[in-house]
Amino acid sequence: MGAAAAVAEFAREDIMPWTIEYLPERDLVLLVVTGQLLDEDGRAQVAETIRLLNEHPSAPVLVDCSDAETLATLPALYRLPDYATELGAPWNVRVAVVIPKTRFRIETFQFFALVSRNAGYEVRLFDDQASAGEWLRRSSAVRIEAHLFAPA
C-alpha cells in the first residue's frame, strides 16, 4: 500500500468509519455508518453499494445510521440518486435507512429519502434496525408473490 493510500485509509477510519457487506444468510446488503457522515463518504458508500448490488441483484439494502452524525450537504445528497443511476443501480432496489438515535439533522435524511423516491428508488426511513428489516422482508415477500401470480 502506498503512502497516500495508507493516509487515506487511516483518515477514513479515524473520521468516518463505515462498513458494507453482503450478508448471504439474509440476502441483504448491509451498510453500517458510525461517526461523521461527510459528502465524500456518501459517494463512496453509493459506489460500493452499487458494486455489491450488481453482484447480488435481488438484494435489498439496509443502511444503519443509528450511530452516525451527518454533516453531508443538501446539494451533495441531492446528487446521490443520479450518481447511483450513473453507476447502474437496479431500479427495483429497496433501501431501508435507520436514522440516527440522536435525530441530529434528521431533515437531511428526510431530504435524501425524498430525492431518492423522486428519482424512482424505493427508500424508507426507520427508527430502528428491526423495523427496517421487517419492511425489507415484507416487501421482498410481496414482490415474490406478485411475480408468481403475474400472467405469463
| Structure confidence by residue, pLDDT tens digits, 66-104 | 999 989 999 999 999 999 999 999 989 999 999 999 999
pLDDT score of 119: 95
Helices (H), 16-128: 39-55, 74-86, 106-118
pLDDT score of 11: 47
Kindly state whether residue 64 falls inside one of the protein's structural domains. Answer: yes
Kindly state whether residue 66 falls inside one of the protein's structural domains. Answer: yes
Kindly state whether residue 119 falls inside one of the protein's structural domains. Answer: yes
pLDDT score of 140: 64
Kindly state whether residue 89 falls inside one of the protein's structural domains. Answer: yes
Mean pLDDT of all residues in 13-33 = 85
Kindly state whether residue 5 falls inside one of the protein's structural domains. Answer: no
SS3 1: coil
Query: Any idea what the CATH number is for the domain that residue 118 is in?
Result: 3.30.750.24
Q: How many domains does the chain have?
A: 1
pTM metric for this prediction: 0.80
| Structure confidence by residue, pLDDT tens digits, 98-123 | 999 999 999 999 999 999 999 999 99
Encode 1-15: b = buried (16+ Cβ within 10 Å), e = exposed. Answer: eeeeeeeeeeeeeee
Kindly state whether residue 65 falls inside one of the protein's structural domains. Answer: yes
Kindly state whether residue 115 falls inside one of the protein's structural domains. Answer: yes
Full residue range of the structural domain in which residue 111 is found: 18-149
The sheet carrying 94-98 orders its strands as 18-23, 28-37, 61-70, 94-98, 122-126
